[in-house]
Amino acid sequence: MSELVYGDPAIDGWVADKLGLRQWPESYSIANVQNRFILGATVMHNWYPETGVIEMTSVSDSPRWLSRKMINAVFHYAFDVLACQMVVLRVSEINTVMVDIANRLGFVGYLIPRLRGRNEAEWVFCLTDDKWLTSRFRSKLNG
């Protein structure tokens, strides 16, 4: 059985290392962990409280990482705890698994050519609080 781990800086580092990124100076992570093995994690970063927008970055080592419990924990934090009005997710055009997940979760995507370099486009996905409130993935326990 897996468990969720919240706010552990080591998780932020794990996500950054997996993606070849620098760790974010201010961030909050949620990881789905089973037997001390990280199945996958999401880091919330680049929060702009004045506009109510936060960015999220996710990575996984297992297709079992994205449970309904994990989905609800991530969006509960963004929309209910931080009172964000929109979550932004940036995804390489070649990461078709994450593109599919974003679409299934109800994000609206914008493909921007060359955002990841001359030969690679990037999707910028947005999910508003209004869209999340009507999502079939949203647990009614979250309000």
Q: Which pair of structure tokens corresponds to residue 40?
A: 């996958």
Residue closest to 126 by CA, chosen among 142, 140, 106: 106
Tell me: the pLDDT tens digits for 53-95? 999 999 999 989 999 999 999 999 999 999 999 999 999 999 9
Tell me: the pLDDT tens digits for 98-142? 999 999 999 999 999 999 999 999 999 999 999 999 999 887 654
Q: Are 29 and 43 in contact (CB under 8 A)?
A: yes
Tell me: the pLDDT tens digits for 8-48? 999 999 999 999 999 898 999 999 999 999 999 999 999 99
Domains observed in the chain? 3-142 (3.40.630.30)
The pLDDT of residue 143 is 46
Residue closest to 85 by CA, chosen among 57, 122, 47: 47
At 87 the three-state DSSP class reads strand
